[in-house]
Amino acid sequence: MSNTELKGVLFDMDGVLADSEEFICEAAMKMFAELELTVRPEDFLPFVGAGENRYLGGVAEQYNFDLKAAIGGIDQAKARTYAIYGEIIRGRMKELPGAAEFVNSCRKKGLKTALATSADKLKMVYTLDEIGLPLSSFDASINGLDVERKKPFPDIYLKAAELIGLKPEQCLVVEDAVNGVQAAKAAGCRCLGLTSSFTIEELEGANWFAADLSEVPPEALKW
């Protein structure tokens, strides 16, 4: 059996399993508005997939806005954003097409699965609960609190592969963000890029592309 044969699938969460990008953006904008700073949705785009520290901190930096003076720091800003997020997703957020079915089909094929999200654990739990996909659907999970260096660094995917007992080159990463594709490739994984958040051109470096997990090209699982 080849050392590079597909044996596991590592899933990002936001934009892959759940259509959560618009909600975390809405929550972050509301948090900044409470601090009397008006920001735009497009301000967050460079930081999608890099974890909430960069997602919120990067936008604050763009505006030379002092989060520490305004709310006590990044941890307090995240806590308030997550509280808003947990409220606004109720009854509004759904799993992306084919997500649960594809995760389950990977398991039935004998592939190991891991959830590897740059989001903090609280956001991960809120999101999975809302879309009805239990954490037990995965052999392992890792969130943004488990790694110091977030995407586009490869650390989260290296650790996810290790947790399911595989080498990175035996894993397919499913990603929707530029930072995530870069992290997957830097880790030595192959990558399926979903165009739910960015275009094929922007996700340059992914091995395969699909609109969502209901349209995965067969060759992405045959190597």
| Cα–Cα distance measured from residue 170 to residue 189, given in angstroms and rounded to the nearest whole number | 7
Q: Is the backbone peptide bond immediately before 152 cis, with ω within 30 degrees of 0?
A: yes
| Cα–Cα distance measured from residue 61 to residue 95, given in angstroms and rounded to the nearest whole number | 32
Q: Which amino acid is at 8?
A: G
> In this structure, what token pair is assigned to residue 7?
């044996």
Q: Is 12 marked active-site?
A: yes
pLDDT of residue 139: 98
Q: What is the DSSP letter of 116?
A: E
From the candidates 14, 120, 139, 212, which is the catalytic residue?
14
113's CB contacts (< 8 A; 6+ apart) are 8, 9, 10, 11, 103, 106, 107, 137, 138, 139, 140, 164
Residue 142, H or E segment: strand 140-142
Write out residues in the chain with pLDDT < 70, as ranges: 1-2
* Contacts within 8 Å (CB) and 24+ apart, 101-106: 101/213, 101/214, 102/213, 102/214, 102/216, 103/11, 103/17, 103/133, 103/137, 103/138, 104/137, 106/9, 106/221
Residues 136/25/50/35 CA torsion (nearest 10 deg) = -120
Instruction: For the chain, give every domain's residue range.
Output: 8-19+94-221, 21-88
Q: Which amino acid is at 155?
A: D
Q: Which amino acid is at 32?
A: F
From the candidates 12, 139, 155, 212, which is the catalytic residue?
12
Q: Is 14 marked active-site?
A: yes
pLDDT of residue 2: 55
Q: Which amino acid is at 192?
A: L
Q: Model's pTM, two decimal places?
A: 0.88
Looking at the domain that runs over 8-19+94-221, which CATH code has it been given?
3.40.50.1000
**pLDDT by residue (tens digit) across 165-216?**
999 999 999 999 999 999 999 999 999 999 988 999 999 999 999 999 999 9
